[in-house]
Each structure stands twice: as structure tokens, then as C-alpha cells.
Amino acid sequence: MILNEISFDFSNISGFSLTVAIVGYLIVFGALVLLFFIYNLLPVFINFKVRRKLRKEGKCEDCDVSQIEGNVSAAISMALYLHLNEIHDEESDVITIKRVSKQYTPWSSKIYSTNPFLRSN
Amino acid sequence: MRRLLTIFGIISILGLISFTFPTTTTESTGSTDYTELQAAPNHQNTTVVPGSDAKRGIMQFLKYTGFANATPGHLIMLVVGLFFIFLAIRFDYEPLLLIPIGVGILIGNVPFLLDSGLKLGIYETGSVMNYLYFGVTAGIYPPLIFLGIGAMTDFSSLISNPRLMLLGAAAQVGIFATFIGALVLGFYPAEAGAIGIIGGADGPTAIFLSSKLANGINILPDGTTVQNLIGPIAIAAYSYMALVPVIQPPIMRLLTTKKERKIRMKPPRAVSKLEKILFPIIGLLFTAFISPSSLPLLGMLFFGNILKESGATKRLADTARNSLIDIVTILLGLTVGASTQADVFLTDQSILIFILGALSFMVATAGGVIFAKIMNVFLSDGNKVNPLIGAAGVSAVPDSARVVHLEGLKNDPNNHLLMHAMAPNVAGVIGSAVAAGILLSFLL
């Protein structure tokens, strides 16, 4: 019903409206492009400072401090987590099986291990 | 059973008293009722027949019930509200949004006697819902939502690969294309700007901009008042955000080849704490200087992120990303839902806004995907981007990124795109807020 009544009037697009659309989009795009350049340069500046410090201390001549891959940092994080929470593979080798007070259990019952049916032969 | 009999007995006695001593009640309360009814605009034809107070009271009560005031519009909106709740529970489509909105639609569309001074409707000054709705009309809730989003968003994927920011920028084409489309359909520029922002797929931004541009208060240059489109725009924006898993995948598949969908991207590098702290500070200052009108949104977004990344304000960050955003989401969802009161909401404009919103969302998705493909032309083999992540340039965080991830997994079960898709997704949030600021400064 309403769809039949829709009218397209292209004369509504004035010069001002076109300016808003085109300039507006270019500003949004430009703003994010500039942010891209800034954030692209950011690690370079940070690395420069850290690299100079390391070079002064003679620890590292040509190391890329920021290019640690996610996989590597995930492995380091897991190792630290395991270490700090003492969830480690090296056990103390002390076996700590406690003796239970209740001796009898159906699992150890002899009656369940016997066959109630006699063999014919 | 005994209790039931007691209650029934009391009601029967009260009924008998009212029928036996009609004059007494008329003297005490009936006269005041009569004057009140005379004063009420809708009850001027009410006649008082002596001795029929009980009947008149019942008729009066019936006149105030929802059954007497229901219109087909109310019933349609109630079905829509129930459908939203169904979608949220059955298909898990943005339940945190759709359930408050769905219940809000039910609350806003329970029919009642208009202009009777009950102060029930969301558009009636002095009603509780009207007070809560003030947060929408004054644009208070959206910045608070942005604060929470900032405090819960990890920008590290964007920091590690800033070129993906361009995808977020490309997807904003939907906003400006819809702006032109709305103008062609006869909307005024201010209204068209508010409608266009639906293409940003960002509910809070859409509400913020429509509360400023299409609020039913502003006077246009030709002397007419701008339409109040906050309700339809908000509902359209949130509906399409919830329907991301339905709308986006077909467009993504249409615009990409199977080979392109299988592209594996380099894992993002680790980001230092200093970079994470500098990101919101630089972003805040830079975007605010370009578009100061977007300051309420981006200021709060980056403020929330500083709370998170500084590491020194854990309590504030926790409040912003948990309690605060939950409270505001409840209020926002409920009031936006209730603003769809049938007599205000069910108009030709609302239907047009829904059509434009859908087109806007599709154009935005296509814009991101196509731009990703263009980027690939200039990138070396090892650095190519999977064009699917371009669809995440619309700022429906994190649904859009999740849809991209799932679409990637369908083509290659070992290709996890979530982290990569989050970069254009959060860039889209920044882009749509900047676009809102620009539209605001041009059209207000």
C-alpha cells in the first residue's frame, strides 16, 4: 500500500546536501586514514626509545622489541600462568593415597566375581 | 478453598451494599466523580442516571481498560514486541537488547485512555516513562553506553594492525548513501541525516544523532518543525544490529570468491601496555579536534578505554563495563521500546525508515567488503586481508566480528578471523561516531 505511494524526487538533492554527503564521507575517511598513519608510527617511536636504551646497556644490538607474535606471547602467558598458579608438570613424587575407613565396597566384593550359574561340563 | 470463599463473600457483601444504598455513595463520592467526568474532555456525554452508580462505575472502568481503547495498531505493535522477545530467546539475537526493547514495546502499546490525565504514556509529560525517556531525548544514555563499550573493548587488534582501520572507514559509506536516499524520498536534510546514521549500525550513535536532529522540537529554515523520528530510527538500528547474522552473510558470500574467503591473515603482534594507554589518548584528542560534535560519544568511549588500560582504575572500569552499562542498557532498551506507541510509531515514515535502514546496512556491509578486496590489490601475498572482515566495518560490536568469524570457519575450519575482524569493528565505532559528529555540525 505505502510502497505504491513512495515517490522519488531527485530535485531534493541540493548542492548543500551533496556537499554534506561527499565532504562528510571524505572527512570520516580522512580522519581514520590519519589515525592509521599515527598508530602506524607509534610503535616506531616506542621501539626507537626502547632500542636506544637496550643499545646503551649493550644488551641488544639489533632486536625488534615489538614484533612478538601472538602465538609466542600466548605461550609465554601460559607458562607464567602455570608457574604462578603452581599448576605444573613436575610433581613431588609423593603418593598421597589415603586409606579409607570404609573397607567394604561392591567393587571389592567377592560375591560379585562369582558366577551364579554352574557350568554343564 | 476457605480463603477463596472468604474473598468471594466479601466481594458479594460489598456489591450488595453498593446496590442497597445507592444514595449514600452518590452523596459521598458520586458527586465528585460527576464533576471530574464533566471536566474530562472525553467524558462530556456521560449522563448520570440516579440509582445506577454501580453500572456507571463499571462502564467507566470498562472505558479505561485496554480492551476498550485497543486499536489494530496497538495489536500489531504488541505482536512485534512479542516477536522481538521470541527472536531474543529462541535464536539468541542480541537478547540483552531485544528483550528490554520487546518488553518496552509491550509496555508502550498497552492501550489506555488518551488525554484522561492518567500520565501513563511515554509522550505524556509527568509520566514515569516520560522521565526515563528524557535520557533518550536529551542524548544522555548513548554517551554512557559508549563509556561502558570503551571500558570493555580491547583495541589491541586494531593497534597491532592499524591499516584495518580503513575498512571501518569504508563501511561508513552506508551512512552517506542513505542520507542521499532519504532526501530523495522526501525527508528534510536534518531527518535524512538522522536516518542515514542507521547505516553505521550503532544503536547509541543513532539515538544520539536522532535526539539532536529529528527530535520533534527543532525548527527547520522554512518554519516547520522537524519530525520526531527517535523511536523508528532507534528500533530500526537495534533491529538491524540484532539481525546482523541474517543480513550480512549473503552479502559477504555474494561479493567474495571461495578462494578469497579462505585467505589466512598474519597473526596480530603483541601490543605493549604503553601503546594501549596512548591509543585512547591520541584517539580522543585527534578525533575531537576534527569533529568536536562527536565529543560526547568519542570522549566517553576513549575515557572508558583509558579506565581499562591504565590499570590504575580497575574499580571504575569494572563499574563502567558491568553495572553502569547494564543499568543504562535496561533504561535505554525499555524506553526506546516504549517509544513505539502505535499512534506515534505506525506511520508511513516509519516504514520508509525501516526500508532505508535495511538498504543502509547492506550498503555499509558491501562497502567494507569491496574496500577489503581493493586493499588486497595493493598488498603483497603474505599481507593480504580476508575480505570477509570488511563486513565487520559496520560498528555492530561484537556481533559483526562474530558473524565474520563464523563465516570464515564455514570455509576453513582452522581459519579464526575473530581477532582480525575486531579491528575494523572497533574502527567502525570510531568512524560512525565521527560521522555522527560531522552530520550534526552540518545539519543542526
How confident is the model over A37-46, as a mean pLDDT?
87
What is the pLDDT at residue A83? Answer: 79
Q: How many CA atoms lie within 13 A of B9 on its CB side?
A: 6
- Rounded Cα distance between B195 and B16, Å, is 60
| Chain A residue with the nearest C-alpha to that of B348 | A2
pLDDT tens digit sequence for A8-23: 888 888 888 899 999 9
Q: Are residues B186 and A21, on separate chains, in Cβ contact within 8 Å?
A: no
pLDDT tens for chain B, 444 residues: list them: 666 666 666 666 555 555 554 444 334 444 444 444 444 444 445 555 555 788 888 888 888 888 888 888 889 999 999 999 998 999 888 888 889 999 999 999 998 887 777 788 888 888 899 999 999 988 899 999 999 999 999 898 899 889 999 999 999 999 999 999 999 998 999 999 999 998 887 889 999 999 999 888 888 877 888 888 888 898 888 888 888 888 999 999 999 999 999 999 988 887 888 889 999 999 999 999 998 999 999 999 999 999 999 989 999 999 999 999 999 999 999 998 998 888 888 888 888 898 888 888 899 999 999 999 999 999 888 889 999 999 999 888 888 999 999 999 999 998 889 989 999 999 999 999 999 999 999 988
Task: Say whether the ipTM exceeds 0.85.
Answer: no
Nearest to B267 among A10, A16, A69 (CB): A69
Q: Are residues A33 and B442, on separate chains, in Cβ contact within 8 Å?
A: no
Q: Are residues B162 and A39, on separate chains, in Cβ contact within 8 Å?
A: yes
Contacts of A6 in chain B (CB under 8 A): 185, 352
Contacts of A53 in chain B (CB under 8 A): none
Confidence (pTM)? 0.77
Residues near B101 by beta carbon (within 8 Å), at least 6 away in sequence:
B84, B235, B238, B333, B334, B336, B337
Contacts of B374 in chain A (CB under 8 A): none
How confident is the model over A72-77, as a mean pLDDT?
82
What is the pLDDT at residue B285? Answer: 93
Q: Where are the domains of chain A?
A: 12-91
Q: Is pLDDT at A26 greater than 50 in this prediction?
A: yes
Three cell numbers, residue A20: 554534506
What is the pLDDT at residue B28? Answer: 40
Three cell numbers, residue A112: 560379585
| Burial track B144-167 (b if 16+ CB lie within 10 A, e otherwise) | bbbbbbbbbbebbbbbbbbbbbbb
Q: Is pLDDT at A1 greater than 80 in this prediction?
A: no
Q: Where are the domains of chain B?
A: 2-64, 132-443
Is-contact B396 B248, C-beta < 8 A? no
Residues near B158 by beta carbon (within 8 Å), at least 6 away in sequence:
A39, B164, B165, B279, B422, B423, B426, B427
- Rounded Cα distance between B385 and B374, Å, is 10
Q: Are residues A36 and B166, on separate chains, in Cβ contact within 8 Å?
A: yes
Q: Are residues B186 and A12, on separate chains, in Cβ contact within 8 Å?
A: yes
Torsion of CA B199, B408, B96, B109, to 10 degrees: 50
Contacts of A13 in chain B (CB under 8 A): 180, 183-184
Contacts of B393 in chain A (CB under 8 A): none
Nearest to A13 among B168, B184, B274 (CB): B184
